[in-house]
Amino acid sequence: MLITPNMITYTHFLLLVLGWKRPREGWIKLNNDDACKNMGVIAGCGSLFRDSDCRWIKGYIKKIGACDALHAEMWRLYLGLNMVWREHYSHLTVESDSKILIEMISDNFKFNGNIPVLVHLIWKLLKMSWNVQFNHTWHEGNRSADWLANLIISTYHFNLLVLLESPPNVVRIILFDDLSETCISRNIRLVF
């Protein structure tokens, strides 16, 4: 077999240094994440929002029940947006590690079939009179929300929304890392 240059793929790795970034002055940032275990039999989500000084404002954890990862992502965004809206903040940056979820709630996403009810509820919240921006973040910039999502799965055995007026002790360490602008390296595989 003759190998031509078009048949060769090249793999390179890009090293990224990632961490939580503060929102702009006057804005708050919502970080949220979900966790699914046992192939979606157990799902939960967690969110927190902080100001530009990295101060904890509020958070929540909720066990969702049985669902796939995408529905857990929709639940976490809906619950997080709803919580921030009820606190009457007018400028919000949302960071999510789900590119598909960010695309789904954008105006130019093409749905095949019915639009999920949670997407309609998210759109309704976004039409309220406030400024909301979305950014994709990697897991390394979302560690506190990841920890909260896993907490609900491992500790509570019932489906309820638990509001957190202050961070759990273990999350305080991650919040200190964020305040200190601690970064974590991540290798990204690029194939050409």
Which string of DSSP letters, residue by residue, matches 129-189?
SSEEEEEE--GGG-HHHHHHHHHHHHH--S--EEEESS--HHHHHHHHHHHTT--EEEEEE
DSSP state of 7: G
Q: Could you tell me the residue range of the domain that residue 134 belongs to?
A: 24-180
Tens digit of each residue's pLDDT, the chain (192 residues): 555 555 555 565 555 556 778 899 999 999 998 888 876 678 889 999 999 999 999 999 998 888 888 899 999 999 999 999 999 999 999 998 888 899 998 877 888 888 889 999 999 999 999 999 999 887 777 888 888 888 887 776 667 788 999 999 888 888 887 777 776 665 666 555
Residue 40 belongs to a domain with what CATH number?
Answer: 3.30.420.10
- For residue 175, which amino acid is it? L
Domain count of the chain?
1
Residue 8 within a domain: no
Residue 191 within a domain: no
Residue 165 within a domain: yes
Residue 125 within a domain: yes
Residue 189 within a domain: no
Q: What pLDDT, on the 0 to 100 scale, is given for residue 166?
A: 95
Residue 6 within a domain: no
